[in-house]
Structure 1
Amino acid sequence: MSAPVTSSQRPALIVIDVQRGFDDAQFWGPRDNPDCERNISTLLAHWRDRQWPVVFIQHDSEHPDSPLAAGSPGHEFKDVVSGSPDLLVHKSVNSSFYGTPDLDHWLRSEGIEQVVICGITTNHCCETTARMAGNLGYETYFAIDATHTFDRATPEGETVSAAMLAKITATNLNGEFATVLRTSALLDALAGTGAQQSRVFSPNWK
């Protein structure tokens, strides 16, 4: 279980794949959480006000027909991801820890022990990065309402809604790989209000 997130730890905010290509509803299908980008913006503003480390992750798809293909308009960051990060990592797989430059090396060289994860998509690159961060020993926090995902089909062809996939990700991560919580709870904890424990993820979060 992660220790309480604190401002004294100088946590890093890892913003994953917030790219224009994910706005292509025809390609990806229905999404959940329309507040995702607003919550990412809130987190970024909080981090920059305090001059804490910010990491942007950018997916360079190797598939030329992907909306995230390098060199395509969809490869660019959305407007919410503005300004210069402390580190920009390019990747072509799910985990942000398998990219260039090496994220783990940079975090350790900066003495960073706590990471906060947000971005797109909840159950793919965000969840994979959170699992690896937990395994690598970082105190990992997952801002569930600062992520979103898309409906997916099971191997049997049934549709699983994006909202359900987000709940499954939260259930998979919380208490084992990361602490899952909402943006407001995260900011309360960083402010030292003691509100974190009452507002951490529960299976009925909305």
Structure 2
Amino acid sequence: MASLDSSPMLLSVDLQQGMVEAPEEWGPRSTPSLVPNVQYLLKTWRDKGWPVLHVQHDDVADPTNIINSKYPETFRAHACSAPEEGEPIFVKTVGSAFIAPDLGAEIEKLGKKRRIVVIGMDGSQCVNSTTRHGSDLGYDLIVVEDACASYGMGGGFDCEKTHEAAMQMLKGCVKVVKTDEVLGF
């Protein structure tokens, strides 16, 4: 088992009610196993006493978007990823979680050299932006592809094709693994 100083951080990105259970007009979501995989990883991290960080998206650019803090029911964390006492929550207004005020300081406090395991929504948007940005910043990142999900982006890319493409793009800069593989690193 990793020592507390070198244990990996879990970064939960945009696992909000309105993202996990989006409106019908967004179309289907990829990754049917998202909720149980997220629950399993959070339980594992918590049982081991490893750091868990939560990031939520507040779409201030579009005040009608359900991922806006004006809509508390859809803005709140999804039940599968609800923060527990002592787990910090950071709010961002752009794609990358690393833009969220104080997230970088929290990572520095916990130890920048720790591996950061990323889970969340939407794989083709904020997870992708967060991962690429974090890699550029020099963080050691792993993305858990089946603890992330995406919505389709049109043009023949349904939710599953979109998610697969997003995860393939990330493989050029970080490790991409499945839930049952993540603890092997």
Under a length normalisation based on structure 1, what TM-score does the superposition of the two structures give? Answer: 0.81
TM superposition shift of 1:108: 1.6
Q: Could you tell which deviates more after superposition, 52-61 or 19-28?
A: 19-28
1:7 aligns with 2:2: yes
Task: Tell me which amino acid in the other structure corresponds to 1:74.
Answer: T
Residue by residue, what CA displacement relative to the aligned partner does 1:185-206 show, whole Å, maximum 9, x if unpaired? 113x05xxxxxxxxxxxxxxxx
- Cα distance change, pair 185–76 in 1 and its aligned pair in 2 (3 A): same
List gaps (5 residues or longer) in structure 2: none
The 5-angstrom pairing of residues 32-51 of structure 1 reads: 32-51=30-49
Following superposition, the deviation at residue 85 of structure 1 comes to: 5.0
In the alignment, the residues of structure 2 paired with residue 161 and residue 180 of structure 1 have an alpha-carbon distance, to the nearest angstrom, of 21
Change in CA separation of 1:112 and 1:58 when aligned onto 2, cut-off 3 Å: same
Structure-1 separation of matches of 2:148 and 2:86 = 19
Map 1:138-177; keep pairs closer than 5 Å. Answer: 138-153=139-154, 158-174=155-171, 176-177=172-173
Structure 1 unaligned segments of length 5 or more: list them. Answer: 1-5, 191-206
* Within-5 A mapping of 1:32-71: 32-62=30-60, 63-71=62-70
8 Å contact from structure 1 (residues 54, 85) kept in 2: no
Name which one, 1 or 2, has greater alpha-carbon Rg.
Answer: 1
Aligned residue for 2:98, secondary structure, equals coil
* Alpha-carbon distance in structure 2 between the residues aligned to 1:85 and 1:18: 18
Q: Aligned pairs, how many?
A: 178
Alpha carbon RMSD of aligned pairs, Å? 1.5
Q: Secondary structure at the match of 2:124?
A: helix
- Provide the identity percentage: 25
User: Which position in structure 2 is the counterpart of 1:96?
Assistant: 97
SS at structure 2 position matched to 1:160? coil
Q: 1:115 to 1:85 in 2, by over 3 A?
A: farther
Give me the TM-score of the superposition, normalised by structure 2: 0.90
What letter is aligned with 1:91?
K
Q: Which consecutive aligned stretches of 4+ in structure 1 deviate over 3 angstroms post-superposition? A: none
Contact 2:59/2:67 (8 A) holds in 1:
yes
Which residue does the alignment assign to 1:29? 27
Structure 2 partner of 1:125:
126
